[in-house]
């Protein structure tokens, strides 16, 4: 007569079944997200998923290690690792900005302040104390115009959005500026020790609906054309609401000809995740400029982290007369 299973073995079997179900559920969720990201060029949910595929690849690798005794789970996870990491490998092979330049240097910073935050003065005070020469502010508030901390930057350009503004603050003279209102771009020619620098400060829409995704893609296309048509070296600072894993990024970079820094950079959003977030804020340069390592800094009260770096000219250019 067969012995009845003990209560302990029944509990262990139940626990093992629970772990198996959890493993399957997590695997399906992660691989579903990676699969959704493959449709990024077709609709906005795929675009949103594309920014998190590296996270998916890492989790898929962990799941493969946990589920190695189940061949089907292992195979699916390995597919997830390859599919999730592939767009990031493509981006890793992109040409990068030069590191060292022979011309004058410029310390720059970009910060998405978050329009609902109340600590904008504190952020500006930190940047002023650091000696930052050129600052791009995203989601600035109209009340920021009167902050005493702005005295550090006598040359300023503000967009005119009633709630969330883009501000370009400069120690160096601004020869001219153009506000591209519909495209959320502040374009300016900054004279850095007599050398012209075309600056694009921007905040395209977040692709969280079909209309906003279309707006972001159109705005990035405008940015790319502005950068490609410039006769001067170009520096772009902004919250592009796009990571390098997106097919939209690849199209933008191919037209704009702008380059990321040689170092990997850091995650900027959402700030509570710290280095485990995604990099949707960027500092980019064209030929004629070098860009050293981009550092990430905390922005009090914001859901973003900021970026700061030093830009150097690699060749002299003649100032242009107008936009």
Tell me what the pLDDT averaged over the chain comes to. Answer: 90
Whole-number pLDDT of residue 115: 83
Instruction: Quick: pLDDT tens for 19-31.
Output: 777 777 888 899 9
Residue 250 corresponds to which tokens in the numbers above? 């690849």
Under 8 Å between Cβ of 104 and 316 = no
Q: d(Cα 248, Cα 261) in Å, to the nearest integer?
A: 19
Burial level of 148, CB count in 10 A (0-12/13-18/19+)?
exposed
What percent of the chain is modeled with pLDDT above 90?
Answer: 74
Residue 59 corresponds to which tokens in the numbers above? 């989790």
Give mean pLDDT, residues 167-182: 96
* More reliable by pLDDT, 17 or 198: 198
Flag whether pLDDT at 18 surpasses 80.
no
Flag whether pLDDT at 1 surpasses 60.
no
Strand ranges inside 141-280, DSSP E: 155-158, 165-170, 174-180, 185-192, 195-202, 234-239
Instruction: Quick: pLDDT tens for 82-94.
Output: 999 999 999 999 9
Give mean pLDDT, residues 230-243: 97
3-state percent breakdown (helix, strand, coil) of the chain, nearest 5: 40, 25, 35
Q: Which long-range contacts (C-beta less than 8 Å, at least 24 apart) are formed by 26-35?
A: 26/59, 26/63, 27/60, 27/63, 27/67, 27/73, 27/76, 27/77, 30/56, 30/59, 30/60, 30/63, 30/80, 31/56, 31/60, 31/76, 31/77, 31/79, 31/80, 34/60, 34/80, 34/83, 34/84, 35/83
CA angle 213, 229, 203 (to 5 degrees): 30
Whole-number pLDDT of residue 118: 85
Flag whether pLDDT at 168 surpasses 60.
yes
Name, in order, each residue with C-beta under 8 angstroms of 275's C-beta and a sequence gap of 6 or more.
266, 267
pLDDT bin (cut points 50, 70, 90) of residue 321 is very low
Q: d(Cα 233, Cα 318) in Å, to the nearest integer?
A: 11
Q: d(Cα 184, Cα 202) in Å, to the nearest integer?
A: 6
Give mean pLDDT, residues 86-115: 93
For residue 192, the cross-strand partners are 195
* More reliable by pLDDT, 317 or 42: 42
Output the DSSP codes for 135-167.
EEEEEE-GGGGG-GGGGG--EEEE---SSSEEE
Domain borders along the chain are 7-91, 105-313
CATH classification of 105-313, choosing from 3.90.1150.10, 2.60.40.2470, 3.40.50.2300, 3.60.10.10? Answer: 3.60.10.10
Please state, as a whole number, how many other Cβ atoms lie within 10 Å of the Cβ of residue 144. Answer: 19
Flag whether pLDDT at 132 surpasses 70.
yes
For the chain, how big is the Rg over CA atoms in Å? Answer: 24
Residue 218 corresponds to which tokens in the numbers above? 């159109």
Least confident of 4-13, 47-56, 262-271, 303-312: 4-13
Q: d(Cα 105, Cα 84) in Å, to the nearest integer?
A: 38
For residue 312, the cross-strand partners are 105, 290
Which has the closest alpha carbon to 224: 244, 249, 245?
249
Whole-number pLDDT of residue 319: 46
């Amino acid at each position: 007569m067969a012995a009845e299973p003990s209560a302990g073995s029944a509990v262990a079997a139940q626990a093992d079944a629970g772990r198996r179900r959890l493993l399957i559920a997590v695997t399906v969720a992660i691989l579903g997200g990676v699969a959704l990201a493959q449709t990024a060029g077709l609709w906005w949910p795929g675009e949103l998923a594309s920014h998190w595929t590296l996270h998916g690849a890492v989790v898929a690798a962990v799941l493969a290690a946990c589920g190695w005794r189940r061949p089907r789970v292992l195979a699916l996870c390995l597919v997830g690792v390859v599919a999730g990491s592939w767009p990031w490998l493509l981006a890793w092979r992109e040409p990068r900005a030069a590191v060292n330049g022979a011309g004058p240097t410029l310390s720059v910073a970009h910060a998405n302040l978050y329009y609902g935050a109340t600590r904008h003065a504190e952020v500006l005070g930190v940047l002023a104390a650091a000696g930052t020469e050129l600052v791009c502010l995203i989601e600035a508030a109209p009340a920021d115009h009167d902050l005493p901390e702005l005295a550090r930057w006598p040359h300023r350009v503000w967009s005119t959005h009633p709630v969330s503004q883009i501000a370009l603050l400069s120690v160096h003279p601004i020869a001219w500026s153009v506000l591209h209102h519909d495209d959320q771009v502040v374009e300016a020619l900054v004279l850095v020790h007599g050398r012209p620098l075309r600056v694009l400060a921007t905040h395209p829409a977040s692709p969280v609906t079909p209309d906003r995704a279309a707006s972001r893609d159109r705005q990035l296309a405008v940015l790319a054309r502005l950068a490609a048509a410039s006769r001067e070296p170009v520096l772009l600072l902004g919250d592009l609401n796009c990571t390098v894993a997106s097919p939209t990024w690849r199209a933008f970079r191919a037209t704009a000809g702008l380059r990321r820094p040689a170092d990997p950079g850091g995650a900027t959003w959402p700030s509570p995740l710290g280095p485990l977030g995604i990099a949707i804020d960027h500092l980019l340069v064209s030929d004629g400029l070098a860009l050293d390592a981009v550092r990430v800094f905390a922005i009090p009260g914001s859901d973003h982290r900021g970026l700061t770096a030093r830009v150097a000219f690699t060749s002299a250019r003649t100032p242009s007369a107008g936009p």
